[in-house]
Structure 1
Amino acid sequence: MKINELLSMAFSNLWRRKLRTALTVAAVVIGATLISLVVSLGSGLQSFVVGQFGLSFPDTAVIASSGRDIGGFGGGGPQEIRTTETTVISPFTAEDVEKLRAIPSVERVDYLVSASARYVKPDDSDRIFTVSVSGVAAYEAGIRPLFLGTSFSDDDRGVALIAYNYLEAFGWADDSSIIGRTVTVNVGKQVAYDFSSQDYTFTIVGVIDKQVSSAELLIPQADAIEMGRFYQSNPERYSESQPGFFLQLKANDASQVGAVAQAVRDLGFVATTPDDILAQINSVFSVIQIGLSAFGVIALIVAAIGIINTLLMAIHERTREIGVMKAVGATRSDIRSLFTMEGAALGFLGGAIGGGLALLLGRALNFIGARTFLTDFPGFDLTSFPLWLVPGVILLTTGVSLLAGRYPASRAARLDPVDALRYE
């Protein structure tokens, strides 16, 4: 038989038992909808996290760590340590910094400053709030989208970019009156039992757009170094003599990041690039999506059992019809193909309806979320449907149903035409 004839007969035969066909397709629809929604939810969350990362970490940056790759820990059984030097992670030295600066395509090397702030206080209130203070170079601050104001330069001092979330917390209006206001950051000591602290005042020059989910205050690196030295009670910290354990390298161009990272590793240090971090993020989300998709796969397996049952019942009801078809020249291959096609048709219908239903539900979730619990995250869609998702789900349900139809189809093909014609 030709493929168009098989398709026409398959859909015609399924239409005879509308209720049974509808119930069987409904089981496939549930599985297809679950898989589509779970993957779209994971894709939406993944896009949000990756987007947030892209708004806060430059694509030209490479994080260098002074820790050597000592290996042999965390799996694979114990291995002999041949030198105790590799068990101690030493900070960078001035010589190390010069070697990193000498790497081709490296534009600059910056310290990664650690200064844990106790709180931030607005200039018109005694209320205090938690805060994450980050001292960054101007090129890194410049990638933050701004709601108001401008970014700062490397030469600026005592200025800051503040996260949009603080405006509501402080009770400030979200207009240009914010620019020029001040906040006070209180920093304590890292040393235990030293309860002294110091205040640092910053003038707001810009407000980070609310699409960046954060509770941070960005300040010039020079100010952060001053805070970090107080925090660690070390006036030599973050200098050529004490660079620390982590440095941030800026490549001339994003295309050179891989080469710079490899050069860092060739020097015996550990290098982390934006692609490395994104790969870890994507890997985590892939595992989550696979785990959650298992619920949809289970539903599809149940649906496949239903398809087998539906086709076996159809064979039982159409035994004489099969006998007639064989009597007038239909081959075993024709009978097998017909019932296999009926199984595939059930899967195709369920996948198409389920994919369409998932799209509608996804749009509804995005619409509701944007007006309720996601109002603080403009532009974030709770669900995101990649172009391949719905066609892929349809192919999956069709393939599963086609496999489920193989056994009933083979059983129908093996019927003896004489016995089939005698069947009542």
Structure 2
Amino acid sequence: MNVVDTLASAIGNSLRSKTRTLLTVLAIFIGAFTLTITSAIGTGVSDYIDNQIGAFGAKDVLTVTKASDEPARQEGPAEYDPDAAIVGADLTQFDTEPLLDEDLDTIRGIDGVLDVSAVRQVRPRYIESGNGGKYVLDVNATANLTTPDLAAGTQLDNSGTEPQILLLSSYVDALGLPNAARAIGSTVRIGIADYTGQLHEVAATVTGVQNETILASGAALNEALLEQLHTVQSIGQPSATTELSVVATAHFDPAASEAEIDAMQSALADAGFQAATVSDQIGVIQTVVDGIIAVLNSFAVIALIAAGFGIVNTLLMSVQERTREIGLMKAMGMRGASIYALFSTEAVFIGFLGSVLGAAAAIGIGSIANGLIVESFLAELEGLQVLRFEPVPVASILLTVMAIAFLAGTLPARRAARQNPIEALRYE
């Protein structure tokens, strides 16, 4: 028998006992469905976490601040209160103490730190667009180290002279802008006080709207806008006054081991600083997600193992029912290898049918569920696609299930191939 004949015979034989085959396919369907769903969850969540890492910073950077209690985070922008504004340009408005030159020297002296630079701070008071009202503007001081996850628009142009800003999505409605896409190109006014407390306004163009992230927050400003705000902020500042910053970035060797990074962080902690890497902030989340996916996958594997026994049972009964037929085939000259291939192909076909139906159902149901989940109780996690179906993982699941089916069909196929043709023809 050639390949086409073997395949056609295997499909026809599998459908002889429709009920028995259907129950076996159903068991495989459940395992393939579960595996496809859990794989999609793992892919979607991992992709979201990767975006969070990209939005937070480089992997060879320690973000260093003075040790302090982190304030509670408020959802959305707070309304601007001019009476509560702090007059002057000092740093007492920050909960974190500023870093002095001697602090930078201390950080620079830590073994493993290659270089340290203070992040330039600008302290705008408010942002407004048209007559939508003034709102407190939070600025991401480390925006130039990040790659924001955009909901609309483009990234900042740090080489141009036009002042640009990436707004957080929560500011779109507050500022009276129609939506994220139509906010692109709008002009906003940023209020900032000089050193004497006099308020000034600087105009900027919205070049993009970024999704809220779980790690980094605040609007991103390009170099041209930072320079204008910094220039205004410095008006009236005595020349002898030293510019202070509350955040510093310390680069280390990208090839540094975990032990070396831990040693740097411990040394900084002993010196009174907080230092965090991307892995510190998000590694625990990834570990938890991987653990949950592994548990879910284990249930799917159990279902597939049970389905494998179903295949064994189905084919063993098929061998018993077709004993005389097998004897006739061998008497007509069919070799044992061909009979083995026939029954193995039946097993693979059953696995293929169950896995394709399971994967297709998972993709269909998952695509609908994904929209409902993202738009309801996970709406705050912008950019998250809970279920992400990628071709390679789905194809891997199909091949895995078919491989399990093949292994399950090995015993019945061997028994069929070893049938004695004379005894088989006498079988009642």
Cα distance change, pair 267–322 in 1 and its aligned pair in 2 (3 A): closer
The yes-or-no answer on 1:405 pairing with 2:418 is: no
Aligned residue for 2:57, secondary structure, equals coil
Partner residue of 1:156? none
The yes-or-no answer on 1:355 pairing with 2:367 is: no
Measure the CA separation in 2 of the matches of 1:218 and 1:57: 13
Q: Which residue identity does 2:43 align to in structure 1?
A: S
Aligned residue for 1:407, secondary structure, equals helix
Partner residue of 1:57? 56
Q: Deviation per CA, 1:84-118, whole angstroms, max 9, x where unpaired?
A: xxxxxxx99544444579977x5x623699xxxxx
Q: Which residue among 290, 295, 299 is the counterpart of 2:299?
A: 295
Cα distance change, pair 358–180 in 1 and its aligned pair in 2 (3 A): same
Provide the alpha-carbon RMSD of the alignment: 5.3
Q: Which residue identity does 1:49 align to in structure 2?
A: I
Partner residue of 1:310? 314
Shift of 1:399: 0.8
Q: Which residue identity does 1:51 align to in structure 2?
A: N
Q: Deviation per CA, 1:38-93, whole angstroms, max 9, x where unpaired?
A: 11022112212322332x32337601679xxxxxxxxxxxxxxxxxxxxxxxx995
TM-score normalised to structure 1 length: 0.62
Matches within 5 A, 1:77-96: 93-96=103-106
The yes-or-no answer on 1:110 pairing with 2:109 is: no
CA contact (8 A) 1:152 1:205 kept: no
Partner residue of 1:269? 264
Measure the CA separation in 1 of the matches of 2:152 and 2:339: 67
Cα distance change, pair 315–168 in 1 and its aligned pair in 2 (3 A): same
Measure the CA separation in 2 of the matches of 1:380 and 1:110: 33
CA contact (8 A) 2:327 2:421 kept: yes
Cα distance change, pair 320–284 in 1 and its aligned pair in 2 (3 A): same
Measure the CA separation in 2 of the matches of 1:102 and 1:311: 64
Measure the CA separation in 2 of the matches of 1:102 and 1:312: 65
Measure the CA separation in 2 of the matches of 1:25 and 1:354: 9
Aligned residue for 1:180, secondary structure, equals strand
Partner residue of 1:324? 328
Cα distance change, pair 52–204 in 1 and its aligned pair in 2 (3 A): farther
Cα distance change, pair 8–36 in 1 and its aligned pair in 2 (3 A): same
Measure the CA separation in 2 of the matches of 1:164 and 1:213: 7
CA contact (8 A) 2:149 2:383 kept: no
Q: Which runs of 5+ in 2 are unaligned?
A: 66-99, 159-163, 193-198, 230-241, 266-274
Partner residue of 1:12? 12
Shift of 1:26: 2.1
Shift of 1:284: 4.3
Measure the CA separation in 1 of the matches of 2:403 and 2:112: 57
Measure the CA separation in 1 of the matches of 2:322 and 2:120: 76
Partner residue of 1:87? none
Measure the CA separation in 1 of the matches of 2:51 and 2:4: 46
Shift of 1:35: 0.5
Aligned residue for 1:213, secondary structure, equals coil
Cα distance change, pair 94–30 in 1 and its aligned pair in 2 (3 A): closer
Q: Deviation per CA, 1:194-226, whole angstroms, max 9, x where unpaired?
A: xxxxxx999996879665225944599999xxx
Q: Which residue identity does 2:337 align to in structure 1?
A: S
Matches within 5 A, 1:190-269: 212-214=211-213, 216-218=217-219, 247-249=248-250, 258=254, 265=260, 269=264
Measure the CA separation in 1 of the matches of 2:334 and 2:165: 81
Measure the CA separation in 2 of the matches of 1:168 and 1:281: 30
Q: Which runs of 5+ in 1 are unaligned?
A: 67-90, 114-119, 154-158, 184-199, 224-235, 252-256
Partner residue of 1:164? 169
Q: Which residue identity does 1:58 align to in structure 2?
A: G
Aligned residue for 1:179, secondary structure, equals strand
CA contact (8 A) 1:64 1:248 kept: yes
TM-score normalised to structure 2 length: 0.62
Percent identity of paired positions between Structure 1 and Structure 2 = 28
Shift of 1:3: 3.7
Measure the CA separation in 1 of the matches of 2:290 and 2:333: 51
